[in-house]
Structure 1
Amino acid sequence: MDLPPVIMTYLAAHDARDVEGAIASFAPDAVVTDDGRGHHGTAEIRAWLAGAAAEYTYTTELLHATRLGEERYDVTQRLEGDFPGGVVDLHYRFTLRGSSIVRLIIEP
């Protein structure tokens, strides 16, 4: 499936641990929920991205992508690395507004 450019840009930047490249994909009022914790606005999202990039070493593989609505997408990625369990498939649930991410929920 063809994903919107903003999602592809975010995923590539996140994989490359490029915090500034990834944060550029978000609207100023965006919210990210990861591991049950919410990160509101680009300052909190930047801190979350920087922490996630430094905590573990991992690789990602895009497994599946589904369009859920006009501006909603579910992307499944497999992460393999030095985190507890070593392998996990995660859903990245994106909500867009125009060419920006306004909500991202990451969960198994």
Structure 2
Amino acid sequence: MELPKVVERFVETQNNYDSKAYTECFTESAIVHDEGKVHTGKDEIRQWIEHANEAYQSSMEPLKYEESESNGVLTARVSGTFPGSPIILQFHLGLKNDLIDSLKVTG
């Protein structure tokens, strides 16, 4: 499966628990929706992913990717130290200038 470069980096940095490089996949004003919370801008996104890495130690295995215009949906098997692991999640991505401008994680 071929992924856009930024989505490839998104998966790679998640699997390496590299929160700094992960954050660089996003625009300055990006918005993330996950677990009923909203995180806006790179600082909040970095704090969110650092907490998630520490709490869940999750990694993702891409299963499917669909793209339409500037939006993509990555379906991945996510494993970690959370109840119910592994689970299949969808990452709804808004892309802008080869970066992620929005991300919504759904189950």
TM-score by length of 1: 0.92
Give the corresponding residue for 2:93: 94
Unmatched 5+ stretches in structure 2 = none
Give the corresponding residue for 1:58: 58
> Identical aligned pairs, as a percentage?
29
After TM superposition, give the deviation of residue 61 of structure 1 in Å.
1.5
TM-score by length of 2: 0.93
Unmatched 5+ stretches in structure 1 = none
Aligned-partner Cα distance in 1 for 2:69–2:19: 27
After TM superposition, give the deviation of residue 99 of structure 1 in Å.
1.2
Please give the secondary structure, in 2, of the residue aligned with 1:3.
coil
Aligned-partner Cα distance in 1 for 2:78–2:2: 21
After TM superposition, give the deviation of residue 20 of structure 1 in Å.
0.8
Moved over 2 A (4+): 57-60
Matches within 5 A, 1:10-25: 10-25=10-25
Matches within 5 A, 1:72-87: 72-87=71-86
Please give the secondary structure, in 1, of the residue aligned with 2:64.
strand
Question: Number of residues paired by the alignment?
Answer: 107
Equivalent pair of 2:55/2:81 in contact (CA under 8 Å): no
| 2:55 alignment partner AA | E
Using a 3 Å threshold, how does the CA distance of structure 1 residues 29 and 59 change in structure 2: closer, same or farther? closer
CA deviation profile, 1:68-102 (whole Å, cap 9, x unmatched):
x2111100111123211122100011111111110
